[in-house]
Amino acid sequence: MTQEPDNASLAAPEVSGGTDQGKRAPGSGRVILVCLLIPALAFVTTLFPWIQAHVSSVMSAVDVDVKGTDAAPAVSALALVALAGVLAVRIAGKVLRLVISAVIALAGLGMGIAALTAALNPTDAAMTKVGEATGTNGPGGQYVVTVWPWLTLVLGVATILAAAWLWWSSRSWKTTSRRYERTSQHSVQRGENPHADDIDAWDSLSEGEDPTR
């Protein structure tokens, strides 16, 4: 009768500990996933036509669809920077997480500015692509801005907010690099390093002792 309470008391800490670990891991995973999704969507928006131009060339009228990669090429590059930054935050230290989060926020700001510039000045944004299609410089015509640059602008702002959320959430995350460092040190102390015995033997010889004793 006295052993049953002891067994129950011993089993309780194991269950609570496992539950705490299960709650922490998915939390960071959800943050990383959401923060990856936002710049990824911004990158996808550049694959669609941002500007639909109806211009007149020397011979006839031409319809040109200008994708985001041509209207605002900086958006694609900045989206990749934000994606790489989100992945780097998970394995970085606390101080470096703040720096990376700031870089992600700046990337989101750059995406928003590039998208807004293309939407407000479609003629300049489409000039290169239209010039290639018509063979002339600065042809006149009609330029219609689609919904995609405006969506990219929203995603750029969302990237800034996601960077702030990422930094705020990552403050309670454990540093992965330190965990690996502690494991490595513990392994050496336990003699798991195959060269540890050779090093100890050499130290003994240098001190005038016989390592074979």
Give me the tens of pLDDT residue by residue for the chain, a chain 213 residues long: 445 555 444 444 444 444 444 344 336 788 889 999 999 999 999 999 999 988 876 667 788 889 999 999 999 999 999 999 999 988 888 888 889 999 999 999 999 999 999 999 998 888 888 888 777 665 567 889 999 999 999 999 999 999 999 988 877 776 654 444 444 454 445 455 555 555 566 556 555 566 566
Residue 182 has a pLDDT of 47
- Start and end residues for every CATH 1.20.140 domain found in the chain: 30-173
Residue 176 has a pLDDT of 54
How far apart CA 42 and CA 32 sit, in angstroms, is: 16
Please tell me whether the overall predicted TM-score, pTM, comes out greater than 0.75 for this model.
no
Q: Which of 188, 41, 186, 204 lies closest to 111 in space, CA to CA?
A: 41
| Continuous H helices in 46-90 | 68-71, 73-89
Contacts 24+ apart (CB under 8 A), 99-105: 101/163, 101/164, 101/166, 101/167, 101/170, 102/163, 104/35, 104/39, 104/159, 104/162, 104/163, 104/166, 105/159, 105/160, 105/163, 105/164
| Continuous H helices in the chain | 3-45, 68-71, 73-89, 94-120, 122-134, 148-170, 176-189, 196-206
Q: Which of 2, 5, 123, 135 lies closest to 57 in space, CA to CA?
A: 135
Please, are residues 34 and 155 in contact by the beta-carbon 8 Å criterion?
no
Domain 30-173, second-level architecture:
Up-down Bundle (1.20)
Residue 23 has a pLDDT of 41
The helix/strand/coil state of 4 is helix
Residue 38 has a pLDDT of 95
